[in-house]
Copies of this chain bind each other. A is one copy, B any other.
Amino acid sequence: MAVHKKEEFTQKEQELAEFAKAMAHPARIAILKVLATRNECICGEIVDVLPLAQSTVSQHLKELKNAGLIDGTVDGPRSCYCINWKAFEKFFAEFSGLFTSLKIKNEKACC
């Protein structure tokens, strides 16, 4: 069937999955890289760097913003984006928290 059952998982599981999904495309990784190396507001420069149409880049930016990975403000006729470091810290904390406990106990598994 085509019923998506995402709601049946825990809040944390959904959050982590949402975060991962936002990064699940090389274009969005590339955008994050550009924003990270500049750490300043950039707008259409991203379009120049990526091998994609302006509308497509805009769509990717929207997804990153919706997921909370970046912040964006309108600055005159252009838009300004930057990394939301807090969101990344939260992701790292939650994500590594999922695993570290066990990893310490026993590195070795059966396969």
Contacts and interface: CB of A to CB of B under 8 A. Distances in A.
A93 interface: no
Interface residues of A, number: 53
Copies of this chain per assembly: 2
The main secondary structure of chain A at its interface with chain B is helix
18 contacts: A5-B27, A8-B51, A9-B26, A9-B29, A10-B26, A10-B30, A17-B25, A17-B26, A17-B29, A20-B24, A21-B25, A36-B99, A38-B102, A39-B103, A73-B111, A81-B111, A85-B107, A88-B99
B26 A80 contact: no
Contact of A13 (B14, B20, B30): B30
Interface of A: 5-6, 8-10, 13-14, 16-17, 20-30, 32-33, 36-41, 51-52, 71-73, 75, 80-83, 85, 88, 92, 96, 98-99, 101-103, 105-107, 109-111
Contacts of A41: 109-111
A109 to B, nearest CB: 4
Contacts of A81: 111
A14 B39 contact: no
